[in-house]
Amino acid sequence: MRRLLLCGLLGLPGLSHIQAQSLPVLSQNPPALRWQEVSTPHFRVLYSGALDSAAQRTAARLEQLHGPNVATLGVSPRPISVVLQSQTTVSNGFVTFLPRHAEFFTTPQQGLDLGTVDWLDGLAVHEYRHVGQFDKARQGIGRVLGPLLGDGALGVAAVGVPQWFFEGDAVGTETALTRSGRGRIPSFNVRLRANLLGGRRYSYQKAVNGSLRDHVPNWYVLGYFMTSYLKTHHGPSAWASVLDRYYRFPFYPFSFSNGIRRSTGLTVEQLYDRSMSEIDSTWRAQQAALPAATPVREPAGFGFRKSIHPIRIPAVRDRQHGPGSKNRAG
Binding-site ranges for Zn ion (CB under 5 A): 15, 167, 170
Give the helix/strand (H/E) hosting 98: none
Rounded to whole angstroms, the Cα distance separating 297 from 206 reads 38
Rounded to whole angstroms, the Cα distance separating 197 from 69 reads 34
Q: Nearest to Zn ion by Cβ — which residue?
A: 15
Residue 38 or 73 having the CB closest to Zn ion: 73
Residue 170 or 268 having the CB closest to Zn ion: 170
Least separation in angstroms between residue 77's CB and Zn ion is: 15
Residue 151 or 174 having the CB closest to Zn ion: 174
Residue 15 or 226 having the CB closest to Zn ion: 15
Rounded to whole angstroms, the Cα distance separating 269 from 203 reads 8
Least separation in angstroms between residue 290's CB and Zn ion is: 32
DSSP codes, 134-184? HHTTSSHHHHHHHHHHTTHHHHHHGGGS-HHHHHHHHHHHHHHHSS--GGG
Look up residue 109 and give its DSSP letter.
Answer: P
Least separation in angstroms between residue 204's CB and Zn ion is: 21
Look up residue 257 and give its DSSP letter.
Answer: H
Helix axes 119-135, 52-65, angle to 10 degrees: 40
Residue 134 or 204 having the CB closest to Zn ion: 134
Least separation in angstroms between residue 130's CB and Zn ion is: 6
Least separation in angstroms between residue 289's CB and Zn ion is: 33
Rounded to whole angstroms, the Cα distance separating 200 from 132 reads 35
